[in-house]
């Protein structure tokens, strides 16, 4: 049950077994069915989740009503609203939705703060997780600005080869900032070589 999450956080910091026990005890296991919107825009986000099994997406809705996907989360990754903290309970601008039946290990803001107090080392873990997330987001911003739609598509399927098999194609379009029709045209163009 907790093996994977313990391995995940131990990549960055070494923990004693007692510390991992505290860590695990502060999470809540949740099964969430497919197509559940766990966080609506305007709500305050009251969770941060590690994905044991399943697939989720986090997205904005723009001024014209179009969705822009910020993140896909699959096994062994984290998802939550960034401004997640008991001190900063701003209403969220994003939606989080399950795309498959999911098994999650969830922190509430209070438990997260309790964790920081009881096992201060975890500050370091989440600092490093943030850093890696930021690095990925910066890289993606750079790609969005400087690459063509075809390049973006090719790099996406190279970097996340399993995602196209799991989610609808128009979600990938929304992630890449391309119209669904144009993704289709890119694919036929590539198939013809």
Partner DNA sequence: CGCGACGTTGATTTGCCTCAACGATTGTGG
Partner DNA sequence: CCACAATCGTTGAGGCAAATCAACGTCGCG
Based on CB atoms, which residue is closest to DNA, 57 or 112? Answer: 57
Based on CB atoms, which residue is closest to a second copy, 44 or 83?
83
Cβ atoms of 183 and 169 closer than 8 Å? yes
Compute how many residues bind DNA; rule: CB under 7 A.
17
Query: Between 42 and 81, how does the x/- string for binding to a second copy read (CB under 8 A)?
Result: ------------------x-xxx-x-x-x-----------
Q: With CB under 8 A as the contact rule, which of the stretches 16-24, 27-35, 118-126, 160-168 interacts with a second copy? A: 118-126
* Residue 148 binding result from DNA, a second copy, none, given CB thresholds of 5 to 8 Å by partner type: DNA
| Residue 144 contacts residue 177 (beta carbons within 8 Å) | yes
Query: From the list a second copy, DNA, none, which binds 164 (C-beta under 5 to 8 Å, kind-based)?
Result: none
d(CA 76, CA 54): 10
For residue 32, the 8-state DSSP code is: E
**Structure tokens belonging to residue 79:** 């998802």
Q: Which stretch binds a second copy (CB under 8 A): 1-9, 25-33, 139-147, 164-172?
A: 139-147
Helix (H) or strand (E) holding 42: none
Cα gap 160→71, rounded to integer Å: 12
In the window 152-181, what residues touch a second copy (CB under 8 A)? 177
Residue from 158, 177, 190, 193 in contact with DNA (CB under 7 A): 177
Binding residue (CB under 7 A) for DNA from 149, 158, 159, 175: 149
Q: 96 in helix, strand or coil?
A: strand
Q: Compute and round to an integer the Cα radius of gyration of the chain.
A: 18
| Interacting partner of 184 out of a second copy, DNA, none (Cβ under 5 to 8 A depending on kind) | DNA
CB of 81 closer than 8 Å to CB of 39: yes
**What is the DSSP track for 58-87?**
EEEE-TTS-EEEEEEE-TT-EEE-TT-SSS
d(CA 26, CA 122): 12
For residue 180, the partner it binds in DNA, a second copy, none, with Cβ less than 5 to 8 A by kind, is DNA
Enumerate binding residues for a second copy (CB under 8 A). 60, 62-64, 66, 68, 70, 82-83, 85, 116, 120, 123-124, 126-127, 130-131, 133-135, 137-138, 140-142, 144-147, 177
């Amino acid at each position: 049950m907790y093996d994977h999450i313990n391995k995940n956080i131990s990549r960055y910091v070494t923990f004693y077994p007692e510390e991992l026990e505290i860590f695990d005890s502060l999470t809540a296991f949740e099964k969430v069915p497919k197509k559940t919107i766990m966080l609506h825009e305007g709500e305050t986000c009251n969770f941060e989740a590690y994905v044991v099994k399943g697939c989720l997406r986090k997205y904005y809705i723009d001024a014209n009503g179009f969705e822009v996907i910020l993140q896909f989360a699959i096994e062994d990754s984290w998802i939550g609203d960034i401004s997640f903290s008991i001190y900063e309970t701003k209403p969220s601008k994003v939606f989080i939705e399950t795309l498959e039946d999911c098994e999650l290990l969830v922190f509430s803001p209070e438990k997260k703060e309790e964790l920081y107090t009881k096992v201060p080392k975890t500050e370091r873990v989440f600092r490093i997780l943030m850093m890696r997330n930021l690095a990925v987001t910066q890289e993606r911003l750079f790609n969005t600005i400087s690459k063509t739609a075809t390049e973006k598509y090719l790099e996406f399927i190279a970097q996340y080869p399993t995602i196209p098999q799991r989610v609808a194609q128009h979600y990938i379009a929304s992630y890449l900032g391309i119209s669904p029709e144009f993704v289709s045209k890119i694919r036929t163009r590539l198939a013809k070589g």
